[in-house]
Chain A
């Protein structure tokens, strides 16, 4: 039963203290891609550990290695955890998915109604008549990049280039799917365990990744100026915008040319994060396999 208990404990650790600690390690933002993978690994490992807890008990019971009467507490907890997580994931996934798609469809219809379309290669672009510089994309199969006239009027050509590269990076890398995954898991976690800082950190990492694409296209200074020009602007939900609150924008600007984390070169820390990610995902699977193989200590 140690395996079953270990899976439950692993699930709780990965749902509660680990995300909180990870959200505080803000220097990891300088390696955004590996940091995002680490977050995904944490979420996947938590879900796996929770879902496999009850199933891990079955071979032990069937093989008569343990007696139900002796270990019923652990079994009840495992069954509750697995059942609860499975149900909450299904409900959350359905609700979040439907709401997200409906909101995007409504938003895209409005943007098509109000905006002027681009030509040829820019046919997915829409320009809205509005003075506040705003830029965002509406992800999905029929994607849109939306700009306001204010953006075109106030940003220079390099800054505009940065903005478009940023939005296109969101679309081509399908960041909307990553956001959806994390939102589903976030909503599935019971309210008292949920970590808002974790979801905020993930959303920031996605913006930092898109900023990287902008830097590759237009350089860090133009990207920084574009971020400042858009800071505090509207950010429609379901879309992914260039705008952010002032505090977050300041953080993003600091990350545009980051090359070291705690004195180590970024690629070294990134490699470490990828390694930890692999270990996290393998852990619940290894525990489950141990249960099946009957290698447990009762």
Chain B
């Protein structure tokens, strides 16, 4: 698959994020563009300015935080990989249907009772009984 400029930028974001995640324990204060460039940019033949642009974009997207340290910026991941994954999966669109309650209504996010879980299992058991040839 040909790498369009957009793909490459997306790939870079992933690589930069990985770098920040793996070094977050050793460097809780964060990493400067220079440090990230030394770690991952040189091998890939990336320009310093490219990494600067990528980190700037990521900061605007809320993926990374940044703090001034003298003349440079220090970048940290805004959340851990696990937090971001969980947030992504539970991402609800409050704007779409007007408010969160309506969104929940429309996307069946209500809690289930033990009776409902029993009904679910019973429904599956009934299906398996009706279709024994596939019960293997």
Contact = CB atoms under 8 A, between A and B. Distances in A.
Interface of A: 96, 99-100, 103, 107, 109-114, 123, 128-130, 132, 134, 148, 183, 187, 196, 199-200, 203, 219-222, 224-225, 228, 231-232, 234-238, 244-250, 253-254, 256-257
Chain B interface, DSSP helix/strand/loop, else mixed: helix
A200 B10 contact: no
Contact of B117 (A100, A236, A238, A246): A246
**When A and B form their complex, which 6 residue pairs have the shortest distance between CB atoms, in order from nearest?**
A246-B112, A237-B93, A221-B134, A245-B108, A246-B116, A253-B123
A199 B91 CA distance: 20
Contacts of B17: 113
Contacts of A113: 10, 13-14, 17, 63, 84
Interface string B62-102: 01000000000000000001101110111111011110001
Given A112-B10, A237-B107, A245-B112, A224 B96 contact: no
Contact of A249 (B13, B98, B103, B120): B120
A220 B123 CA distance: 12
A236 B89 contact: yes
Given A111-B88, A234-B89, A245 B110 contact: yes
A112 B14 contact: yes
Given A110-B88, A221-B135, A224-B127, A99 B108 contact: no
Contacts of A257: 127, 130-131
Chain A interface, DSSP helix/strand/loop, else mixed: helix
B26 interface: no
B112 A107 contact: no
A44 B126 CA distance: 38
Given A107-B91, A111-B88, A228 B131 contact: no
Nearest to B94: A237
A230 B88 CA distance: 17
B123 A196 contact: no
B121 A228 contact: yes
A257 B124 CA distance: 12
A103 B93 contact: yes
Q: Which of A96, A219, A236 has the most CB of B within 10 A?
A: A236
Given A99-B95, A148-B89, A237 B103 contact: yes
B90 A99 contact: no
A234 B106 CA distance: 13
Contact of A236 (B63, B92, B127): B92
Nearest to B18: A113
Contacts of B96: 96, 99-100, 103, 183, 237-238
A219 B127 CA distance: 11
A109 B11 CA distance: 11
